[in-house]
Chain A
Amino acid sequence: MTAFLLRRVLRALLTILIVVAAAFVALRTTSDPAIVVLGPDAPPEAIAAFHEAWGLDRPLWVQFGSYMRDLVHGNFGKSMLDGQDALEKVLDRVAVTLQIMVPALVLGIMAGVGAGTVAALNRGRPLDRLMMLGAVSGFAVPGFVLGLVLVLVFAVTLQWLPSGGNDSWKGTLLPVLTLATGWAAILARFTRSAMIEVLDQPYIRTGSAKGLIWREVVIRHAMPNAAIPVVTMIGFMVGGLLAGAVVTESVFSWPGLGQLIVTSVSSRDVAVVQCVLVLVAATMVMSNMIVDLLYGWLDPRMREGGR
């Protein structure tokens, strides 16, 4: 078990290292941060000074070496735009992003898993068809389209809610709804098929044969088994949570991590971009690991070597 964990952690670190290296090279070779930050008309002396200040005049591998050295000490560097600590800047924005992501995730899971379960239990009946119609539409409409439609209806036409920003709690409603819809749609279909597969298994009939009423059979013998693939799916969703913020935050001008990614990439704010990438990669890798561990906990057949 410890060997297994250690292997996973090493692989996770390697993944993050590759992401960091690739981004480092890409960001520094495609254009010059000095020109982006100082503007195309900046005098050559200013550019040279900028290069020297940020160490950009050294060879790429030397820069990477010192960057990695700092990274190991938890130092992500400073923003080239305002000199603020990159990690601090990023974490501030993560907090803002989580304000919409966490409620959206909770809502999406409850609605999606609930709808999928109800649909599976009513397989082939009108209720099932209705729910799947909803799920397929929710899945087919891209998030930014749904977001724009919501803005058009609730902000522009009805003027009930702000079209963007995080000035009041009202601003969270539309982005949360948009995100939750997408997740709920995916989870509803996923839960339904997982549940249907389990309900067809012979041990469900055994549950009835031992005297459980149908509701008890579903709760005790169908749901725990159907949860295995669903939990996996939710794990992947959580992993992609930070990365998925870009589009929604742009639509609702939500000043979170997604917006920070967009501005820092376009301004070649290298330290900030790198910090975001490490964070995003780390959440993905971590959640994959947690999914693997959960899998073993939920499904005894997956446990290695027994107890």
Chain B
Amino acid sequence: MAADHGGGAAAPLLAFDGFRVGFPRGPAVRGIDLAVGRGEALGIVGESGSGKSVTWLAALGLLGGSARISGRATFDGQDLAAMAPDRLARLRGGRIAMIFQDPMSALNPVKRVGSQVAEVLKLHRGLAGRAARAETRRLFDQVGIPDAARRTELYPHELSGGQNQRVAIAMALAGHPDLLVADEPTTALDVTIQAQILTLLDDLRRDLGMALVLISHDLSVVGELCDRIAVCYAGRIVETAPVAQLLRAPAHPYTQGLIGAAPRFGARALVPIPGQVPEPWNMPPGCAFAPRCLHARADCAAAEPPLVPVGDPGHLSACLLSGGTGAAALREETRHAPA
């Protein structure tokens, strides 16, 4: 059962095993096998609608009642789905923290930002009153909010988007997390602020030794910050490898497509991937990427290819064509494929 899905040889901090999430309209996550090691920085990339957010929200019990979960998600050996809702709630914001895309709307508009951070301190560290205020100011300093003493007294609409995201990060750090899940933390911010926030996340992870899961549809963002990347497509992980390996020798045609479509990595002109991610209620048979794949063969539609090792250690891919020497051949073929 405990296959090595990456994340190092030691017991992983968090592991998904055949994790699935279904909505009434169809399955959004269709069997994810993935592990995050302690202190590791894992990037999750994939186009919009590929199930990146749903995977983590479901695992942490943050999806509404209509979601049906199966398979396993374990944190430090404990099955999250089997955990009592109250215990799972106390894990959130404590050992597992999460930050979201739009910092403006992620903070309560009628509460002072400092008190929203202090709420976590009270909940997970039992700090109140003067101690909580001091710690809130320290956290504000730590995430680079200048003039912390005054800013804690402001409301979200009185801060900029970037500062609000820093508040959200301070809120996440307040519970001393072992794992920080950042779901597109910079998508709603402008470019210069994006870089600052990403650098901050990177520094904090190194200083505090926490694991970081960075969800993004931007391969270049993830590539710079992470040790390892998992590529998500239509509710499955289709490829995972150490960053350098993945960018240098992508084995899955979808990953190759993402790299070709990314401004920084594309060889010559940008090559967009034709078509779009299938909807949960409209999944093609076999490999979900086959209808958009330049290399698709007849047998691609026969069965969903499993995620298997492809040569280098820690490099796994879910494509019939990418096993063994096939990968190199595939890359060669892609390079010469007409745009």
Contact = CB atoms under 8 A, between A and B. Distances in A.
B106 A203 contact: yes
Contact of B93 (A210, A220, A299): A210
A210 B110 contact: no
B133 interface: no
Given A300-B155, A300-B157, A306-B158, A209 B97 contact: yes
A211 B108 contact: no
B206 interface: no
Contacts, number: 80
Given A208-B92, A306-B158, A202 B109 contact: no
Nearest to A209: B98
B207 interface: no
Contact of B108 (A206, A214, A228): A206
A7 interface: no
Interface residues of A, number: 23
Contact of B85 (A202, A213, A221): A213
Interface string B53-75: 00001001110000000000000
A213 B60 CA distance: 13
B190 interface: no
A37 to B, nearest CB: 56
A76 to B, nearest CB: 43
A203 B179 CA distance: 20
B120 A210 contact: yes
Contacts of B108: 203, 206-207, 221, 225
A211 B110 contact: no
B171 interface: yes
What interface size band does chain B fall in? 20 to 34
A211 B100 contact: no
Contacts of B93: 209-212
Contacts of B61: 208
Given A205-B62, A306-B158, A210 B107 contact: no
Contacts of B98: 209
B134 interface: no
Given A205-B100, A300-B155, A211 B94 contact: yes
A208 B110 contact: no
A55 interface: no
Interface of A: 201-203, 205-214, 220-221, 224-225, 228, 298-301, 306
14 contacts: A205-B62, A205-B100, A205-B106, A206-B100, A206-B106, A207-B108, A209-B98, A210-B92, A212-B119, A212-B123, A214-B89, A224-B111, A225-B110, A300-B109
